[in-house]
Amino acid sequence: MLFNVDFHGTIAGALHDRWIQLQMSLGASCADNSSIWDNYARMVFQTRDIIPLNHPLLKLLSDLKDGGHTINLWTNANYTVARDVKHILNGYNRIFDKFIFCAGRKAHTVVEGVVIDNEVPNLRCGSIGSILVPTFK
């Protein structure tokens, strides 16, 4: 089975998630060339060593991976934070088959498989179903 797992607020603490949501609610453009992603990448880089990880969820994902399932990291962030996301994940990078960066368009994307996310609007994006998890702080 294929699982698409949200990063900010699900696997990692919600600081980055709250920042991008605030910018979007203020009307900031999320186009790939938008300055919001430069600012976001700078903020993620500056905080990457203090973001907590949801170790119980990562253990579950590791077990699923070891059981033959495919695990994708699926985030609303832009690709400019790929290096920092991998830094934050450190030894857990091996769990993920793909890193999918949606650049603010995640809620408008249908993905194959099951979605695991902390935000209700994103739950309709899984072609098979979804699992709502509490926001990880």
Question: Does the residue 137 lie in any domain?
Answer: no
Distance CA 11, CA 31 (A): 25
Q: Using the Cα atoms of residue 99, residue 102, residue 106 and residue 110 in order, give the sign of their dihedral.
A: negative
At residue 33, the pLDDT reads 61
Phi then psi for residue 132, to 5 deg, are -85, 125
Distance CA 99, CA 37 (A): 17
Question: Does the residue 100 lie in any domain?
Answer: yes
Q: What's the predicted TM-score (pTM) here?
A: 0.88
- Count up the domains in the chain and report the number: 1
- The neighbouring-strand residues paired with 132 are 117
Question: Does the residue 112 lie in any domain?
Answer: yes
Question: Does the residue 125 lie in any domain?
Answer: yes
Phi then psi for residue 27, to 5 deg, are 90, 10
Question: Does the residue 13 lie in any domain?
Answer: yes
Concatenating the DSSP letter of every residue in 58-85 gives: HHHHHHHHHTT-EEEEEESS-GGGHHHH
Q: Which range of residues forms the domain containing residue 54?
A: 2-132
How buried is residue 80: exposed, middle or buried, by Cβ count under 10 Å (0-12/13-18/19+)? middle
What b/e readout covers 27-39, taking b as 16+ CB neighbours within 10 angstroms? ebebeeebebbee
Crossing angle between the packed helical segments 35-47 and 15-25, to the nearest 10 degrees: 160
Residue-wise pLDDT tens for the chain (137 aa)?
Answer: 999 999 999 999 988 778 877 887 888 777 666 687 888 888 889 988 999 999 999 999 999 999 999 999 999 888 888 999 999 999 999 999 999 998 888 888 899 999 999 999 999 999 999 999 999 87
CATH no. for residue 58? 3.40.50
Closest CA to 10 of 52, 72, 54: 54
